[in-house]
A and B are shown apart, each in its own frame.
Chain A
Amino acid sequence: MSLFLRDWFSRLSMLTRNDRILIFSLVAIASFSFARLFFTSHEGKEVLVKVGNRPVQKVSLKMDKRINVEGEKGSVVIEVKEGRVRVVESSCFQKICVNTGWINKPGQNIVCLPNKVLVTIEGKGSPTIDAVSY
């Protein structure tokens, strides 16, 4: 083991100044980009609410809030809480939107077809899947 370490140190001393700058900057950039990736996946997520094809509200996922929107058939109540969002009440018939429950990842959405209400989470992040076939 010590032999290995000595060998390694001797190689290190063979590096020129530029080599060290290179290694240092590579490590710096790598850690910087990791940090950026890590933080952006948690921050800056926003909830976009659309009625028909018209955006009506955009709020941060971090702010707890209740949003009332008028859909095509009546009102729809959306709740943002603890970094998640769901449809609490809807004037629609089948309540598929309410039954969808909470969503919290970018790219996920809740749809109320009869009311033409769409709730999407926007922001950067790497979802585990690109789409769902149903």
Chain B
Amino acid sequence: MKKFRALIFVFLIFFVCGCGKKEYSKVEFLMDTVVEIRVHHNSKAEAEKAINNSMEEMRRVEQKMSCFLPDSEVSRINKEAFLEGKRGSPLAEGWIPVSDELFSLLEESVLLSKLTKGSFDITIFPLWKIWKFEGENLEVPSKGEIERVLKLVDYNNMILQNKKIRFTKRGMSIDLGGIAKGYAVDAAVNVLKKKNINSAMVNAGGDMYVLGRKQGKFWRIGIRHPRREGEILGIIEVENKAVVTSGDYERFFFSGGKRYHHIINPKTGYPADECQSVTIVAEEATFADGLATGIFVLGPKEGMALIENLAGVEGVIINKEGDVSVSSGLVFKIEYVNQK
């Protein structure tokens, strides 16, 4: 027996080291994209319960914030919040009460608009509607149509007060598409935290938050090459951070030899063309989401200056020539990885 003592000891060590936390994951179509949640935990039942609960939370956020679902709170605001208000409605002068949750998201979007000098603007929905990126008959709207609609786009005409909202122009409407995905990610992460999960990733179509570390190591996040499908331009290593990218390659079409993509500049009414992609690394996905969109429109120079000015925010900007700039606090390993 004594002979085997050493052997048993070695096997014990082996087993203790080998039994780390396992990874559990789930992928679902949600919010017009693919959502993946990965959790590291030693209990399968608890991990799966936490994943299901946070998927459910994201579904709830989508039901509330989508401007494409007719019964969402945002759609109700779009229908009712113009100046005159509904005739005979008890809501005087179009003030629409807003839930606490949506109100603070609206306030955050105004903050992002101010930071990016109006380059991020949720009142962009009228423009989005005439560009019809949701449909399949993609064409450039007429100049006159863009000019007419552009007058309706300005976050200063959306008044927020005492948990109520009002638009000062008839025909205004809001689209939280530039921020809601990030918000849903944060909401899902909060559910996981409440379930005592301390290592996880919530990824909504490339916009993600990584909680803790992955088996003791930083999470390695690749940033897509903006011009080569399926290839990575570089890698960042992070923990407890949101990583969100806005790129001009997700939805686009060609018309008259010119490429038109889906990130519209709220000031010109046409697609923003200063950047190919902007990646933001921040403490919260909501903020990172809005900032990535805003900086994409704002442009690489002013955008990088803004990133450097904001505490806890880092980023990678690829300008229209394809040059990469990285903020001072971020290590971006340029690695052209062909994923194919």
Please give the residue numbers on chain A whose beta carbons come within 8 Å of chain B beta carbons, in ascending order: 17-19, 21-22, 25-26, 29, 33, 50, 52-53, 93-94, 99-103, 105, 108-109, 111, 113, 116, 118, 120, 128-134
Partner of B208, one of A26, A100, A131: A131
B145 at the A interface (CB under 8 A): no
Give 1 or 0 for each of B204-244: 1 = CB within 8 Å of chain A CB: 01111010001000011111100001101001000000011
Inter-subunit contact A134/B224 (CB<8 Å): yes
In the complex, residue of chain A having the shortest beta-carbon distance to the beta carbon of B30: A53
B33 at the A interface (CB under 8 A): yes
A53, B52: Cα distance in complex, Å:
13
Inter-subunit contact B10/A25 (CB<8 Å): yes
A56, B2: Cα distance in complex, Å:
55
B136 at the A interface (CB under 8 A): yes
Given the contacts A18-B3, A131-B208, A134-B206, A26 and B10 also touching, CB distance less than 8 Å: yes
**Interface hit among B90-98, B117-125, B245-253, B301-309:** B245-253
- 27 A-B residue pairings within 8 Å (CB atoms): A18-B3, A19-B6, A21-B3, A21-B7, A25-B6, A25-B11, A26-B10, A93-B136, A99-B229, A101-B229, A101-B340, A103-B230, A109-B34, A113-B29, A118-B29, A129-B232, A130-B210, A130-B214, A130-B221, A131-B36, A131-B206, A132-B224, A132-B232, A132-B339, A133-B222, A133-B243, A134-B224
B78 at the A interface (CB under 8 A): no
**Chain A residues, CB < 8 A from B210:** 130
Please give the residue numbers on chain B whose beta carbons come within 8 Å of chain A beta carbons, in ascending order: 2-3, 5-7, 9-11, 14, 18, 27-29, 32-34, 36, 136, 201, 203, 205-208, 210, 214, 219-224, 229-230, 232, 235, 243-245, 247, 249-251, 277, 279, 337, 339-340
**Chain A residues, CB < 8 A from B224:** 132-134
**Chain A residues, CB < 8 A from B223:** 132-134
